[in-house]
Chain A
């Protein structure tokens, strides 16, 4: 499976996405610093969480549409399905390729943003309210759980994009997801409560299952 994932990265030109994530990061950084300077901002972590999850939800859906939805449209999926590999396995490898990339990118982005804010609070006179503790294990566990939930959620937009056979629908629906879950994302950002993230992830996984369960018997249009 790991081999299939690597092939997905190779043939979809992953370098391009690494570069794009590299461009996205300074932009997020700048925004965070601008907001950090404002005394009315309040809790910094809430801002970082919301901003980065919004950005990467969109980023993930763009990648999902390029890796999977467009592959159906430009017929490269016909090529993939002519190989002696179970189709569901091919689709899962494509989903995983996007998931792994974005999970890592989102986690790194957040770590760096937190780090930069912490440094700024130390070495500048900006009135930053530090409400997180980078020395505690709980911080990192939360970081990982939240990234998992956020990235997995984008499989819902994949399902919508696939059923409408449209890249645009994939990306647009990710904005819908942001609007629907923004409040919740903020809420559970700091909550120790695991119920909501677990439910969200289960729903997302259900949609992933729906996206691929008929792959073997479906005609490839």
Chain B
């Protein structure tokens, strides 16, 4: 499998503080990669290193098959990025800001500025100085600038900040269009899972400066994450029935009165029958599916538990 970007144990320490600890990321060509993590987990730091704004204190980054060095300027031509919040020269208009970008990128393609403005719904505002833009408009202009030169690889740090739900939907559609029509590889970071869940092909979860998991959405779907949730008044007795009478081992007491049964060999009917036969009072029984949200919370939660133990 060809990766457009790959990091090998990148680490960043500033003074005594470790911002990112031995992170491995693999982004496949043509994928939308969701980079997920709570605030302060190290997402921005990783993205700053990928765009060469910061240099890793350890490890290497490979982009387009080349190892990134402080002198790697050519790769920047093939990338579009927006890290943290988009910055502009405020007195320039939206149009002039994009024109300036083209000048510095050495990208001259007739109509591309108009096209980018149009895609982000900024045509009307294009002659207003950026200082009069709202936060959401600046965000849009930042995205317009990042996609303007048709980069092969887009790195966007929290691109939906300051956008309303309709705007978020529009941006998502834009990303999908870029992927299908131009084959653009896109990395999007977010601390809100639902924002990227629906469009990502692969999700990387980072927490406490460490990479927790890299997994494709397909794999998550294929993993046996649907379960039967059983609510009962007597958890101990219920578990006894499950393990001894039904010979199940893949279940978990998640809280007092609630059990999740992951074993797919047993049906709801069988369950309720044997529980009733053994006098276990049932208050609720139903089939459920674990969402990526649960998975995310579980993955990030586990570390916290470990951290507490440590």
Contact = CB atoms under 8 A, between A and B. Distances in A.
A86 interface: yes
Contact of A7 (B53, B74, B81, B100): B100
Nearest to A89: B73
Given A11-B92, A83-B76, A84-B76, A216 B53 contact: no
B70 A219 contact: no
B30 to A, nearest CB: 23
Given A7-B104, A216-B70, A216-B71, A82 B53 contact: yes
B28 interface: no
A145 B225 CA distance: 78
Interface in B23-63: 48, 51-55
Q: Contact size class for B?
A: 20 to 34
Interface stretch (A30-38, A54-62, A72-80, A113-121): A72-80
B55 A217 contact: yes
Q: Which of B71, B103, B106 has the most CB of A within 10 A?
A: B103
Interface in A50-99: 74-76, 78-86
B145 to A, nearest CB: 9
B55 A11 contact: no
A8 B73 CA distance: 20
B259 interface: no
A78 B87 contact: yes
B9 interface: no
Given A7-B104, A217-B70, A220-B54, A82 B81 contact: yes
A84 B74 contact: yes
A91 B70 CA distance: 16
B51 A13 contact: no
Contact of B104 (A78, A85, A217): A85
A10 interface: yes
B295 interface: no
Nearest to A220: B53
A75 B48 CA distance: 13
Q: Which of A80, A84, A216 has the most CB of B within 10 A?
A: A84
A12 interface: yes
Nearest to B99: A10
A217 B52 CA distance: 9
B118 to A, nearest CB: 23
Contacts of A7: 100, 103-104
Given A74-B87, A82-B81, A11 B51 contact: no
Interface residues of A, number: 22
Please classify the interface of chain A as helix (H, G, I), strand (E, B), loop, or mixed, using the class held by over half of its residues: loop
Given A84-B76, A85-B73, A219 B55 contact: yes
Nearest to B89: A11
A216 B75 CA distance: 15
Interface string B150-188: 000000000000000000000000000000000000000
Given A82-B81, A84-B76, A76 B53 contact: no
B91 interface: yes
B73 A86 contact: yes
A74 B103 CA distance: 21
A216 B74 CA distance: 14
Contacts of A10: 100
Given A79-B87, A83-B76, A219-B55, 13 more contacts: A3-B103, A10-B100, A13-B91, A75-B87, A78-B53, A80-B104, A82-B53, A82-B76, A84-B73, A84-B74, A86-B73, A219-B53, A220-B48
27 contacts: A7-B100, A7-B103, A7-B104, A11-B89, A75-B84, A75-B87, A76-B87, A76-B89, A79-B87, A79-B88, A81-B52, A82-B76, A82-B81, A83-B104, A84-B74, A84-B76, A85-B104, A86-B71, A216-B70, A216-B71, A217-B55, A219-B53, A219-B54, A219-B55, A220-B48, A220-B53, A220-B54
Interface of A: 3, 7, 10-13, 74-76, 78-86, 216-217, 219-220
